[in-house]
Amino acid sequence: MMDGWKTVPLGKLCTISSGDSDTQDAVLDGPYAFFDRSKTIKRSTRYLHDCEALIIPGEGKEFLPKHFSGKFDLHQRAYALYGFAPDLDIRFLYHFLHHRSDYFPSVAVGATVKSLRRRHFADLPVPVPSLAEQRRIVDVLDEALEGIAVAKAHAEENFLNARALFESRLQSVFTHRDGQWEVRPLGDFASFKNGLNFDKNSIGQTLPFVGVADFQDNDFAPIEQLGSATIDGVLADGYLLKRDDILIVRSNGSKHLVGRSMLIGDLREATSYSGFVIRVRFDASQVFPLFLLRFLKCQTTRQTLTSGGGGANITNINQGKLTSLRIPLPPYGEQITISGAIEEMKEETRNLEKSYRLKLTSLDELRKSLLNHAFSGKL
């Protein structure tokens, strides 16, 4: 601890209290801010406090403070810190709580949903320099962290733009075509089969299985990382995967997962797939697998597959949808050439995304380092 600094429990620096409102008390157009466990600030028709406060969710995974001044309502599972000691700058405490973002998750209790108690706040030791030094540190942090936040926003925007550019270029491949292309329903040259259902009580053959969790943003199924499952009896040949099969997520409670697809590469052993997945099998000597995969992964194709009547989203894709899906097909040699060009575009996009991820990581590390210096008296 630096000379002139003291360590004080948070409970001696401010008043700590939870609210008494519930989720259903939120309204769309209430005159007052309503803080609950979520990151979104809701609205309320009443207020519990009228003051400057730091507000922290009492349940969840992240327990980061919001700084607010005015009238606000508070959920019974959220905490407000207010009534601060005269020798404490609220912004100093705000930055300190971000610096100690690891503290609340480490002390939260509960097997499923982690939650905080008042003692977890009251017992937190806070390093406190003089008020003048606190304000100096706050001025430095406010300016530096604002710059880091702007740089992160730009990097995140560039990351999204890289993906959007690839998607735009991918879409143009399938829309700007000449007279040699033909458009055929997928059902004309492909067959479909839903995956196998099983449960923990199944007794029989155990083998690797492709599930919804294996898709993510993969182009190829992660064969070496697949989990295994036990089915009833012995697997029928119709459920065995083959090289160049394409798998599509046909059903899931999370709508954004439906329609994801990936290609099966070389298999070392008998491998199957779950009932939430549908297999597309076709003659790879007539339709180049990577070409078909890229078309299926195209955003507009997924939108076509996952849109219901009136534009409503659905949580499943049936074989009828896939059968009637119209596929633009150039001559086979051109399919190979186009697929190669798409892979080059994809690699360029991956490199850009990697660069932006590294920048985001370095900015996060800079932010942590800056906060660490501030609260160890080295700023």
182-329 shares the fold of 6-129? yes
d(CA 281, CA 264): 10
186 touches 320 (CB < 8 A)? no
Q: What is the pLDDT of residue 14?
A: 97
Q: What is the pTM of this model?
A: 0.74
Phi, psi dihedral angles at 19 (to 5 degrees)? -90, -170
pLDDT at 86: 96
- For the segment 8-25, the average pLDDT, to the nearest whole number, is 95
* Four-residue CA torsion sign, 97, 64, 257, 351: negative
| φ/ψ (deg, to 5) at 111 | -80, -40
Closest C-alpha to 152, from 377, 378, 356: 356
Instruction: State the pLDDT at residue 311.
Output: 44
Which two tokens mark 108? 């939260």
Q: Please provide the CATH number assigned to the domain covering 182-329.
A: 3.90.220.20
Task: State the CATH class of domain 6-129.
Answer: alpha beta
Write down the mean pLDDT value for the chain. 92
What is the predicted pLDDT for the residue at 338? 94
Q: What is the mean pLDDT of residues 11-18?
A: 96
pLDDT of residue 1: 59
Residue 253 in tokens: 């409670």
The confidence score (pLDDT) of residue 253 equals: 80
Q: How far apart are CA 343 and CA 161, in angstroms?
A: 18
Q: Are 36 and 26 in contact (CB under 8 A)?
A: yes
pLDDT more than 70, % of the chain: 98
Tens-digit pLDDT profile for residues 341-354: 999 999 999 999 99
pLDDT score at 309: 44
Q: What's the whole-number mean pLDDT along residues 279-294?
A: 95
Q: Are 9 and 125 in contact (CB under 8 A)?
A: yes
State residue 314's pLDDT score: 56
pLDDT classification of 200: cutoffs 50, 70, 90: confident
Residue range 160-187: average pLDDT? Answer: 89
Residue 313: pLDDT over 70 = no
- pLDDT at residue 113, rounded to an integer: 87
Tell me what pLDDT residue 310 has: 43
Q: Rounded CA gap, 297 and 289, in Å?
A: 12
Question: Domain limits of the chain?
Answer: 6-129, 131-178+331-379, 182-329
Confidence of residue 308 (pLDDT cuts 50, 70, 90): low
